[in-house]
């Protein structure tokens, strides 16, 4: 399932984001519109968030409307924001995270994936979102190609995504 080329792109983006705006946890989630699901194809924490886990999107309608439909980044800057969107807040906290930025990756007008960037609660602001978005935009063609290298496979539902 691993793809060295796409993994290298995701790792480089993660390395850049760790510097600014900061990131403890990073995942790349492929959007599968036919099933309205997200499949993890890269992670900085493979034990806690394994590659290949897939879940039908059952999170807040606001998240879906923003990230998938409107194709705009999402910010939950603190624990209360995370609790409104994610079901695995305890695991997120155990890794030292309390805030998330989700950045849609768009190719030819369609969302092909989402980058999840997590750090300590209260660390992210709208400036952090702008920085993370610039990082993703600078590598948008490479990111779109990295997502395209992963063909959707049989579902492995039940694992919680962040």
CA atoms of 117 and 39, how far apart (whole Å): 16
**Which tens digit of pLDDT belongs to each residue from 42-98?**
999 999 999 999 876 655 778 888 999 999 999 999 999 988 888 889 999 999 999
Tell me the two tokens of residue 29: 């989630």
Give the span between the Cα atoms of 159 and 37, in whole angstroms: 12
The overall pTM is greater than 0.85: yes
The CA angle 134-30-78, to the nearest 5 degrees, is: 60
Q: Residues 8-54: pLDDT tens digits?
A: 999 999 999 999 999 999 999 999 988 888 999 999 999 999 999 98
Domains, the chain, with CATH or none: 4-148 (3.30.450.40)
Across 8-32, b (16+ Cβ under 10 Å) vs e yields ebbeebbebbeeebbbbbbbbbbbb
């Amino acid at each position: 399932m691993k793809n060295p080329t796409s993994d290298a792109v995701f790792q480089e983006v993660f390395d850049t984001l760790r510097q600014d705006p900061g990131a403890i946890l990073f995942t790349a989630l492929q959007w599968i519109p036919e099933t309205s699901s997200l499949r993890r194809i890269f992670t900085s924490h493979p034990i806690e968030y394994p590659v290949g886990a897939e879940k039908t999107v059952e999170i807040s309608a606001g998240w879906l409307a923003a990230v998938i439909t409107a194709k705009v980044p999402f910010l939950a800057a603190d624990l209360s924001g995370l609790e409104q969107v994610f079901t695995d807040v305890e695991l997120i906290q155990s890794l030292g995270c309390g805030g998330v930025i989700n950045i849609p990756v768009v190719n030819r007008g369609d969302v092909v994936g989402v980058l999840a960037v997590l750090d300590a609660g209260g660390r992210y602001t709208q400036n952090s979102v702008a920085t993370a978005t610039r990082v993703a935009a600078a590598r948008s063609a490479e990111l779109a190609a990295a997502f395209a290298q992963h063909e959707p496979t049989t579902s492995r539902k039940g694992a919680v995504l962040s």
